[in-house]
Amino acid sequence: MPGRRFNIVPTHKDNKPLRYLLQALNYSLFMGIVWYFASAPAVRLIDEDEAKLTIAFAHAGQLREPCRMLSQEELNKLAPNMRKLDDCPRERSPVLIEAELDGEPFYKAELPPPGLFGDGGVDVFYSAKIPAGEHRLSLKMNDSVRIEGFNHQFEQLVSIEHAQILLIVFNSKQGFVIKQELN
Amino acid sequence: MIINPLKRVYLALESWFNFSFGTEWNPLYHLGTLSFFLFWIILVSGIYLFIPFHGSLEGAHASVEWITHEQWYAAGVMRSLHRYASDAVVVTVLLHLFKEFASGRYRGFRWFSWVTGIPNLWMIVTLGITGYWLVWDEMAQYIAVGSAQLMDALPIFSGAMTRNFVSGGMTDRFFILIEFLHLLGQPMLLMFMLWLHVKRLSNVNINPPRGLAAGTFIALLALSLIAPAMSHAPADLSRVPIEIRIDWFYLNVYPLLEILPPRQIWMLTTGVTLLLMMVPWLLPKKDGPKAVVDLDNCNGCGICFEDCPFDAITMQARTDGARYEHEVTVDADLCGACGICAGSCPASNPFRTPRGHLNTGIDMPQLRANDMREMTREAIDSMSGDLKILVFGCEHGIDVDRMNGDDTRGIKLICSGMLPPTLVEYALKQGADGVMVTGCRQNDCYYRFGNRWTRLRFAGERKPGLRARAEHDRILVHGGAEPDAPQIRQDLDAFRQRLRELNQSAPVDAGETV
């Protein structure tokens, strides 16, 4: 066999017992790194005296312009199958929202209606840590450019525990609602 | 030779692993195959875990607890293997990235493999994220809320995602989406990307050596038994988890949400990704002239086609009317300009045209087979010592010019794989007392297979092999990087001594010309 006479120098000399020992050491180191960073260092998400206040809801602002009833003359100009009685412009009002906690500003935003024609509903989401305990919470919202000031208002004394998430939602029937679910 | 600091770190790490594992099992030489092996562990354990897993808001955490505690000896071990193998993959993939960067194997003709490799980091990380999400514990809640915040920073979501993860906003349908992503969508996409990543390579191997695979599996199994993977408390969207023991291999981006707005995190992560993808052009290196086929000397034997590491050579029907069935063509975009094909071509045999110009079937314009023969002759003639030793070395191993002396001459090749074994025989016939061939470290060829093919060719186990009648005792095949130069010089001294002994017992006729 030509290969048997051939001089190939191995890069490293073979020393099996030492090599197996070193391999065990390397594998241990590798697994040590895997094990440690798989769960450490821990991340602390909230301090002892903190809680979280979250405002989260979807809401469509009112139409910028009111619907208008078409006159008979205008209806006559339309094809018979397209004679819709009212004309409602699609564009909606921006939603202006202001929240105060214990009289201090907590959140303020003016959210324009999304969409190519500005006719979409807005998604409101704001979440921030607050001190646990009792707070006076007030919320104001305007969802129509045709109304001066705020047309939705809410004020309440709330109590919030350490690590609790106090969730404020809004629906057009009930207005602002606190969802305070605790296990 | 100046070595960049990163390469120096890599070479030191490589030396340590060679010392510990030997060159055959060195994990740095098998990072790709090791990653595939870990994927197999993840796949098999994942299939097992899917059977008892219950993908629902109420059932997910409870089923994972059953897996972890009730059937700890089987499903629990599978869960730990699944997690730790996933973490280990991140280590092997990052080491792979580091290795290729440190050793300069990312630019020039290699740009495609580099660019298609970077997005795999995202694939792997997002696959891990959806996996953690399925457990639906406090960490899953943390990931879900954080991911939603990140998604909402993108223009297409506009705040709608995060609202899903407020109290009462979740439904079981969410698990259907995550299960689809984690079990099918993401793995399929990852497989496709991995296929793309190795598309420009030939002889792709996806299995690590058995010893390395066994060692890795035993280590993972031991870790799984010693420190089984555990869950946090069940997710509760009405409370903030106080402390999370996060998996930093996968979830390292989420703590950034505490200090950076989501949009800046996107800018940071995509910026780093794009920067990495642009590295081949930011730190460019021009490839040498590509291999050229000379059909007058090519009989279409296909050895170069077999040996090309980069799939740059294709076989096709003869176009020049010659009597042979096939010819080869070279795709210059894929060619690494390594010259391995020239070393494999039987027509590179220097004995073919002893007096005339040596034309071979496939050749490198920057260092033709004829040039190698001329350099060999000149080097032998220029030596004046009691011995004449030629050292053929590659550009990426040790600097052979530094071995020059009265009795030694170095000849630098692009890759040791471009050396036809017959040229070594030719050198001995021309009066050289001995020939040393040195390439990159064994199993770590800059051009993938140069030193492997060289060893096999010289051992007569791969065509074109060194002939049995060649003076094998006067040939030494070595390999090593610059830090190995002292050891190689020491071995060269021992080789010198052996050649002297050989000369004393059977002197070579140094004047013989073929």
Average pLDDT of the residues in B235-241: 94
pLDDT in tens, B255-286: 999 999 999 999 999 999 999 999 999 999 99
**Mutual angle of helices B173-180 and B111-134, in 10-degree steps:** 150
By the 10 Å C-beta count (0-12 exposed, 13-18 middle, 19+ buried), A32 is classed as exposed
By the 10 Å C-beta count (0-12 exposed, 13-18 middle, 19+ buried), B54 is classed as middle
User: Quick one: what percent of chain B has pLDDT higher than 90?
Assistant: 89
* Residue B354 pLDDT: 84
Question: Which of B20, B247, B476 lies at the smallest CB-CB distance from A9?
Answer: B476
Give every CB contact of residue B409 below 8 A, 6+ residues apart in sequence: B379, B380, B382, B383, B388, B389, B390, B391
Average pLDDT, chain B: 94
* C-alpha to C-alpha distance for A155 and A135, rounded to whole angstroms: 10
pLDDT in tens, B150-178: 999 998 776 678 888 877 778 888 899 99
Q: Which two tokens stand for residue A98?
A: 């202001």
Question: Which of B17, B215, B245 lies at the smallest CB-CB distance from A40?
Answer: B245
User: Quick one: what percent of chain B has pLDDT higher than 70?
Assistant: 97
**Residue B461 to residue A165, Cβ atoms within 8 A:** no
How crowded is residue B173: how many other Cβ atoms within 10 Å of its Cβ? 10
Q: How far is CA B149 from the centre of its chain?
A: 37
pLDDT in tens, B117-127: 999 999 999 99
Alpha helices in B240-300 (DSSP H): 248-251, 262-282
Question: Which backbone phi and psi does B97 adopt, to 5 degrees?
Answer: -60, -45
- pTM summary value: 0.91
* Residue B512 pLDDT: 35
* Residue A122 pLDDT: 92
* Residue A14 pLDDT: 63
**Residue B168 to residue A181, Cβ atoms within 8 A:** yes
Q: Which two tokens stand for residue B62?
A: 């409870």
Q: Which two tokens stand for residue B128?
A: 């891990």
The size of the A-B interface in CB pairs under 8 A is 178
Residue A17: closest CA among chain B residues belongs to which residue? B20
What is the separation, in whole angstroms, between the first and last Cα of chain A? Answer: 78
Per the model's pLDDT, the better-predicted residue between B508 and B295 turns out to be: B295
* Residue A181 pLDDT: 47
The ipTM of this complex is 0.92
Average pLDDT, chain A: 90
pLDDT at residue B450 tops 90: yes
- Give me the DSSP letters along B468-503: TTS-GGGEEEEE--GGGHHHHHHHHHHHHHHHHHHH
pLDDT band at A84 (very low <50, low <70, confident <90, very high): very high
**Mutual angle of helices B450-458 and B421-429, in 10-degree steps:** 60
**Residue A11 to residue B442, Cβ atoms within 8 A:** yes
pLDDT in tens, B189-236: 999 999 999 999 999 999 999 999 999 999 999 999 999 999 999 999
Select from A5, A8, A11 the residue whose CB has the most chain B CBs within 10 Å, as the one to mutate to test that interface: A11
The shortest C-alpha distance from B120 to chain A (Å) reads 20
Average pLDDT of the residues in B37-65: 96
Beta strands in B216-371 (DSSP E): 243-244, 292-293, 313-317, 326-330, 362-363
Select from B11, B20, B24, B165 the residue whose CB has the most chain A CBs within 10 Å, as the one to mutate to test that interface: B20
Question: Which H/E stretch holds residue A141?
Answer: strand A133-142
pLDDT in tens, A99-128: 999 999 999 999 999 989 999 999 898 999
pLDDT in tens, B298-357: 999 999 999 999 999 999 999 999 999 999 999 999 999 999 999 999 999 999 998 899
B68 interaction partners in chain A (CB closer than 8 Å): none
Cis peptide before A41 (omega within 30 of 0): yes
Q: Which two tokens stand for residue B129?
A: 């994220």
Residue B466: closest CA among chain A residues belongs to which residue? A2
* Residue B383 pLDDT: 96
pLDDT in tens, B468-495: 889 999 999 999 998 899 999 999 999 9
pLDDT band at A180 (very low <50, low <70, confident <90, very high): low
* Residue A5 pLDDT: 44
Give every CB contact of residue B269 below 8 A, 6+ residues apart in sequence: B253
The shortest C-alpha distance from A118 to chain B (Å) reads 14
**Residue A123 to residue B476, Cβ atoms within 8 A:** no
Nearest of B207, B133, B449 to residue B306 by alpha carbon:
B449
pLDDT at residue A144 tops 90: yes
**Alpha-carbon distances, residue A125 vs A166, B265, B270 (angstroms):** 13, 19, 25
